[in-house]
């Protein structure tokens, strides 16, 4: 199996939910400690006691690129990373709506779309993560699929537990 060019990869089993990565990202990109301006997002699942870092890529498809009506979003064919050209963006917000990881955001304070650019190959989030839950490097597509598979298993378990509780409550 061929390795992909460097990607942000996540081992959610190592994530403690400290959210230092969000602060590191916003500090690097905005000069502010404001998680709302981070280009990644930690999602907490209280039912499972899990925190899952959501980062940009690597996506099999790139819906953000496909949906952009003005070609402001493009995908590098080698790295498969997607990039935003702010000058072309008309703020339709379609890319934010279709991002499967929820990491393309509308910054309402400055009315602009913000997204990860892998910090030009030197990701601050990966450097700041104290547990190694976020890494940057080459990884095989099969490893990524394996991790996604485990995550989907956990999310289905949340749904199953919630449905069982709902059914019990209705008895």
Closest distance to ligand SF4 from the beta carbon of 6 (Å)? 11
Provide the token pair at 94: 């379609």
Which span sits near ligand SF4 by CB under 6 A: 20-28, 140-148, 152-160, 163-171? Answer: 20-28
Closest distance to ligand SF4 from the beta carbon of 164 (Å)? 29
Residue 4, SS3 per DSSP = coil
Give the H or E element holding residue 65: helix 63-67
- Residues 126-155 close enough to bind ligand SF4 by CB under 6 A: 129, 131, 133-134
Residues 6+ apart with CB under 8 A from 42: 15, 17, 19, 21, 22, 51, 52, 53, 54
Residue 72, SS3 per DSSP = coil
The contact set with ligand SF4 (CB under 6 A) reads 8, 15-21, 24-25, 28-29, 39-40, 42, 51, 53, 55, 67-68, 70, 72-73, 84, 89-95, 113, 116-119, 123-125, 129, 131, 133-134
């Amino acid at each position: 199996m061929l390795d992909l060019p460097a990607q942000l990869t996540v081992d959610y089993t190592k994530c403690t939910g400290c959210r230092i990565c969000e602060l590191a990202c916003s500090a690097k990109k905005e000069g502010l400690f404001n998680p709302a301006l981070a280009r990644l997002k930690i999602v907490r699942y209280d039912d499972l006691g899990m925190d899952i870092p959501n980062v940009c890529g690597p996506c099999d498809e790139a819906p953000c690129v496909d949906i952009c009506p003005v070609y402001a979003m493009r995908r590098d064919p080698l790295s498969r990373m997607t990039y935003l050209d702010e000058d072309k963006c008309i703020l339709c917000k379609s890319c934010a709506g279709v991002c499967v990881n929820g990491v393309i955001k509308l910054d309402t304070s400055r009315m602009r779309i913000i997204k990860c650019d892998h910090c030009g190959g030197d990701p601050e989030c990966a450097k700041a993560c104290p547990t190694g839950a976020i890494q940057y490097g080459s990884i095989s597509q099969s490893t990524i699929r394996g991790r996604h598979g485990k995550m989907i298993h956990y999310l289905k378990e949340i749904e199953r537990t919630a449905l069982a509780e709902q059914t019990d409550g209705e008895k």
